[in-house]
Amino acid sequence: MNATATEHLPVVVVGAGPVGLAAAAHLLDRGLEPLVLETGSAAGAAVREWGHVRLFSPWGEVVDPAAEKLLAPTGWVRPDAASYPTGRDWAEHYLQPLADALGEHVRYGATVTGVARAGRDRVLDAERETQPFVVHVDHADGRQERLYARAVVDASGTWRTPSPAGADGLPALGEHTAADHVTYRVPDFDDPAVRARHAGRRTAVLGSGASAFTALASLADLARTGEGTDTKTVWVLRRGISANTFGGGEADQLPARGALGLAAKAAVEAGHAEAVTGFRTTEITRTADGRPVLVGEDGRQLDPVDEVVVLTGLRPDLSFLSELRLALDERLQAPVALAPLIDPNQHSCGTVYPHGHRELSHPEQGVYLVGMKSYGRAPTFLALTGYEQVRSVAAALAGDLASADNVELTLPETGVCGGAGLPLTSVATSGNAEPVTAGQGGGCCGS
Ligand SMILES: Cc1cc2nc3c(=O)[nH]c(=O)nc-3n(C[C@H](O)[C@H](O)[C@H](O)COP(=O)(O)OP(=O)(O)OC[C@H]3O[C@@H](n4cnc5c(N)ncnc54)[C@H](O)[C@@H]3O)c2cc1C
């Protein structure tokens, strides 16, 4: 099949999350035909799974311009730009109306299980670039389908592949058998059943990002309610606690994100959470009555807990892209040109240089990983970044390189860059963590 023959084919977008739907709006705006394939039964299926969590970005920063243009004729009114939606608000008041406005361009219950060049595995060169892509789809009704596409925009996120409790990056021994007491999501305390699992009981929280802060703050709130007299949290950290650990606080240009770190710090200072530092989980054993016990690489065993909340990060599912020639960074599994800009070993300021189709390109022309997935295992992705990515990618696919290259992006800084981070007053810790110097991983991006 020659190149011109593929031009009538759709651009397949994997995932009807915020960035996938924005991609579809930009593609339509460019006169291209998007086909969004979503494994879930509704728009924002992943976002709905953390629907109880309030975003730290206001509405004004989580609505895509092309999406808003598409929604305008439907009478959609953007909520107050300065107010903060929950994940559920985002899904119900923006993502679903957007998907509805995209109409037959969105298919639900459609799980992408493979993407390749038609008739060619990743080895074969012959006429590769002129072949369309094929996308293998499992439908919720059991049907399987093989679709042709002129290009593929993978916006399938990282929500469905959380990192494990094991400090090696592998599941800890016994982690799977303890699954009845292990969750990889911020607990939803609006749900009485979830509340009962934590109220008056002992919970271990693993991780040190925004989600872990949210869990620590919510558990402290639960403890303050006095529901179940002795709600206790043990906060398990691989490293020590430094000025950067709790984020930028008031220096964070996203106040709600800064407030998360402050709330977590207050939870530790108030004794609602005991921080255990330098603890690298290698095993989860069980007591005779089934309570999980975390075992560290140094042989330490923590006191038994009732629940383990693992919020150690998310990672991309690359399994269905195995037949494509991708250039991904060995650390982050993000596109090689983007990775150095977002590497948490180097950067914690949250800003990232404007980037678009070029940084997101691969040896396999015509395939782009965008949105949360483009950041691989890096933790600082913001929707604003994804919206600019897909604006640039859609322009490139429409052949408008001038616009595609004209990338603009200004992101709110975390305040952990130039700022000294948060002064450590009386953060109680136990453990033998190696000291962490302020600013470790705090390289300045801006300057
Ligand atoms: C708790 C939490 C709070 C956050 N708060 C903010 C915030 O305040 N501000 C901000 O800017 N960002 C925030 N983010 C980061 C980010 O903006 C969101 O994760 C956003 O949802 C990412 O959008 P996405 O479209 O890239 O991925 P997702 O929202 O994860 O969407 C991917 C979609 O792809 C679907 N999918 C996955 N695999 C397949 C497959 N094989 N086939 C078909 N469909 C598939 C999923 O069901 C999902 O609907 C937050 C993230 C989390 C987890």
| C-alpha of residue 92 to centroid of ligand 1, in Å | 14
Backbone angles phi, psi at 316, to 5 degrees: -80, 145
Q: Is the pLDDT of residue 229 over 90?
A: no
pLDDT at 352: 75
Atom of ligand 1 nearest to the CA of 84: 8
pLDDT at 3: 52
Long-range contacts of 174-178, Cβ-Cβ distance < 8 Å, separation of 24 or more: 174/283, 174/284, 174/285, 174/286, 175/284, 177/284, 177/286, 178/284, 178/286, 178/292, 178/308
Q: Which two tokens stand for residue 354?
A: 């404007």
Higher-scoring residue by pLDDT: 436, 400: 400
| C-alpha of residue 122 to centroid of ligand 1, in Å | 28
pLDDT at 439: 44
Distance CA(22)–CA(371), nearest Å, equals 10
Domain 3-160+314-405 is classified in which CATH homologous superfamily? FAD/NAD(P)-binding domain (3.50.50.60)
Domain at 179-313+419-431: CATH architecture: 3-Layer(bba) Sandwich (3.50)
Q: What is the largest CA-CA distance in the chain?
A: 71
Q: Which of 56, 372, 390, 410 to mutate to test the pocket of ligand 1 (most atoms within 8 A of CB)?
A: 372
Q: Report percent pLDDT > 90 for the chain.
A: 81
Higher-scoring residue by pLDDT: 49, 242: 49
Q: Which of 37, 159, 254 to mutate to test the pocket of ligand 1 (most atoms within 8 A of CB)?
A: 159
Number of H helices, E strands in the chain: 12, 16
Q: Is the pLDDT of residue 418 over 60?
A: no
Q: What is the mean pLDDT of residues 261-290?
A: 96
Distance CA(386)–CA(370), nearest Å, equals 6
pLDDT in tens, 330-358: 999 999 999 998 988 777 656 678 899 99
Mean per-residue pLDDT of the chain:
91
pLDDT at 276: 97
Could you state, in order of their start, the residue ranges of all structural domains in the chain? Answer: 3-160+314-405, 179-313+419-431
Is residue 375 within 8 A of residue 209, CB to CB? The reply is no
pLDDT at 128: 96
pLDDT at 201: 95
Q: Is the pLDDT of residue 279 over 90?
A: yes
Pocket of ligand 1 (CB under 6 A): 14-20, 37-40, 45-47, 50, 53, 55-57, 62, 111-112, 155-157, 159-160, 211, 320, 371-372, 381-383, 386
| C-alpha of residue 385 to centroid of ligand 1, in Å | 13
pLDDT in tens, 286-322: 999 999 999 999 999 999 999 999 999 999 999 999 9
pLDDT-derived band at 410, boundaries 50, 70, 90: confident
Q: Is the pLDDT of residue 230 over 60?
A: yes
pLDDT at 4: 59
Higher-scoring residue by pLDDT: 425, 241: 241
Beta bridge partners of 205: 235, 309
pTM for this entry: 0.93
pLDDT in tens, 88-98: 999 999 999 99
pLDDT-derived band at 242, boundaries 50, 70, 90: confident
pLDDT at 74: 97
Contacts of 10 (CB under 8 A, 6+ apart): 33, 34, 35, 147, 149, 150
pLDDT at 431: 47
pLDDT in tens, 123-148: 999 999 999 999 999 999 999 999 99
pLDDT at 244: 84
pLDDT at 430: 54
pLDDT-derived band at 446, boundaries 50, 70, 90: very low
Atom of ligand 1 nearest to the CA of 53: 1
pLDDT-derived band at 2, boundaries 50, 70, 90: low
